[in-house]
Every structure is written in structure tokens, then in C-alpha cells.
Amino acid sequence: MDSFLIKGGTPLHGDVTISGAKNAVLPIMAATLLTAETCVIRRVPNLSDVQFMCQILTSLGAEVKFEEGTLTVRAAKIKGVGDYDLIRKMRGSICILGPLLGRLRKATISLPGGCIIGARPIDLHLKGVAALGAKIKIEGGYVHVDAKKLRGADLFLGGRAGPTVLGTANVIMAAVLADGVTIIESAACEPEVIDLIHFLNAMGAKISGGGSPTVTITGVKSLHGAEHEVIPDRIEAATFAIAAAATNGEVTLHGARADHMHAILDKLREAGVKIERNGPALKFSRNGRLKPVDITTLPYAGFPTDVQAQMMVLMALTPGISIITERIFESRFMHVSELARLGADIAIEGPSAIVKGGKPLSGAPVMASDLRASAALVIAGLAAKGSTEVNRVYHIDRGYENIDGKLRKLGARIQRQEGS
């Protein structure tokens, strides 16, 4: 397995272009299964999760071409049974459920995998498609879903930790080809869901209410091909912004959408990070001494769980006490023990992490447990004295396009070491 060797202590300086959003592109790729016509998607990041989804689409019978950030998919003839080994490796693969059900009225997929960050059941996905008339059977590690006819329905998709993003996407994609009107209450409001809706509407769907808790879908007979450009990745943008502050550098992000990052930018300003608009770009640097802040992760438009680990690193470097409370995933503090290896003083109290910051970090070998924990450990290594080796960086390759190359352009001393 590959690893990163980082020699810390160098402030990041320069410009970086933000890639397309991983959490937007995977459902959009799945949505191409809803039509037999050609779809063209631009600003597609070259990630291992995207490559996995390309393989999944191919295994279902679609013709897929991916070159220089442009993805072309033609799903003229497809089958409703997904490849078990491919799907179980990636959580995002569950989003093929809705399109297969919508187009073929049946789907058989394996229960999905992904990062180990707590229970992420698909019960809300299944509840949603059942409301549309689908019958569900789980057997032998597979989910079998079929419906002679899909009918619009009123349904509620709120869960214990709030709305489900991929569940909302799945139900929308199943409902676009159903008879009648579907109204989803407690729909996810994330920009990535809005981006999917924009793509589906470009294909001929009739969806309104994107970005609000109530989404209305009026079913149509068929969808056609379309072209679409994926939104920038707000989580990647936040990661580079935090890396700039953590290393006491100055980094300008091109393509970052400030309107997708209100909660993140608010907490960074509160923490003493200077944020300047430079035309369409955002520049991040320290505005004097860093200050401790308290953070609670919440569904959008609250502070995202996907930035919790990165902010914890910044707070570990900040004199004072910060409290970070995780309300989305109950097991998303696995990075704490690895940060402790670098010298961070963090205690877990139920759903909260108490960070006693201000102590210098020193390099050490660490192990990544999930995608965002990997990013946090890289930031910590950049800010620490000495050398840090981050192992199992295949996690970070799932969601960050060429992160080591982008960091080197900013002056980071980071090298990828190929494993066996």
C-alpha cells in the first residue's frame, strides 16, 4: 500500500485549482443509467471512487470513456444486476439503485462498503423506493428490488442524524420515471443534491425544490442525453484552506464556491483565519494568532462532518480548549489516536472531542482509517516538526485528486512512496 512521507514545517504558498466534487459526481454518473442516449459530464475528478464507478457502469453494460476530466457514458442496453465485488467496496455505489429501478423496474446490488466511520444503513433508501411501489428482499448479501409499476408518493426521508444525501438522490432518480408526482419531505439540501437535480432536469426530468427540505418530482415517460459540468468540491476547498492556516501559509483557491461553504468560512474566520475574495478566487491566511472555536457537525447548511477531522488538527495547533461534537457519524473520531502519536492532546467524551491545543506537533508514523482522517493526518504532518509517514493513503485517493502533487506546487515537502 502506498504511503506519504512528509517533512513538515514549511508554510504553504501559492495557488491551487479545486477539482470537481466527489460527492456530486458519483450520483450524476449513476444517473446516466436512466437514459439510452449519450451523456457528457465535465470537470470529473480522477479519483479511485470515480474509476470504481466507471467499472460498475461498464459491468452493467454501459459504454464509458473517461479522458482529461470529461466522462462520456452511453447506457443503451443495461442489466439490473450489479457486480458484487465492485459495489461492496464503495459506499457511493448504492446510488445505482434508484436509476436501475427507475429504468428497468428492478435492481439487484450488493450491500455497499466504504469508509469505517460508523453505521450508515440503507434503510431510508429502501423506505423511499418502497413508498414508490417497489418490493424489497435482502438475501445473501444482495438487495433485490423490483416493481411492476412505480407510482409517485409523499414520503419522509428524515433519519436519526438528519436527511440522507444518497437516499434523497436514490429516491429522486427512481421517481423521475414513475407515474405521477412524488414529494420528498426532509430531503437533503446539500449542493451535491442540487447538482444532481440540475443534471436530471437537463435530461428532461421535472424536479423542483432542490436545496430545500421539500423536493417535488413529476414523473416523465423518458429521459434524454445531456451535458453537465460538476460543481467544485467544497470539502477539498476546505481542506486546502485549513492546510494554509495550519502551516501559517497563504493559499489562493480557484474554483471554490463560497456560497457552498458558509458554515466552514464562518468557523475559519472565528478561528482567526483571514479570508479574502480575489475575483472568483478565495485567499486564506492567518489573521494573527489562531483562536479556539467550538464546532458541532450538522446536516447542510451546518458544519459538515467531512471537515471535522481537518478542523480538529487546526484546533490542536491553537492555544486554548476547543470542543468538537460529531452529530452525524458516531465513529468518526478514529483519527484522534493517530493525532495523539504526533503530540495532539485530545480527549473523547461521548460524541465530543475536547482539544487542548497549542502544543507543537512532531512527526511520527501514522495510519489513515478513512478518507477525511487521511486528509487530517496529511495536514498534521505538514504542520509538524520532522518527518511524518502517513500509511494507507488509498483512502485519500478516493476523494482527493492528486493531493500530493497539488501540495508540492504549494511548497510542501511530500512524496508518495509506492507500496507492495
Query: Residue 52 is which amino acid?
Result: F
Domains 3-19+232-417 and 22-229 are alike in CATH topology: yes
Q: What is the pLDDT of residues 22-79, one digit of tens each?
A: 999 999 999 999 999 999 999 999 999 999 999 999 999 999 999 999 999 999 999 9
Per-domain residue ranges for the chain? 3-19+232-417, 22-229
Could you tell me the CA-to-CA distances from 348 to 266, 311, 335, 353 in Å, in that order?
A: 25, 15, 11, 5
3-state secondary structure (DSSP) of residue 204: coil
Q: What is the pLDDT of residues 334-363, one digit of tens each?
A: 999 999 999 999 999 999 999 999 999 999
* Secondary-structure class of domain 3-19+232-417 per CATH: alpha beta
Q: What is the pLDDT of residues 82-127, one digit of tens each?
A: 877 787 778 788 999 999 999 999 999 887 654 443 444 788 999 9
Q: Based on DSSP, count helices (H) and strands (E) in the chain, helices before strands.
A: 14, 25
| Average pLDDT of span 176-192 | 98
* Secondary-structure class of domain 22-229 per CATH: alpha beta
pLDDT in the model for residue 113: 53
pLDDT in the model for residue 332: 86
Check 39, 54, 95, 115 and give the catalytic one. 115
Strands 13-17 and 365-367: unpaired
**Residue % of the chain over a pLDDT of 90:** 87
- The span from the CA of 370 to the CA of 326, in Å, is 16
Residue 115 catalytic?
A: yes
All cell numbers assigned to 63: 459504454
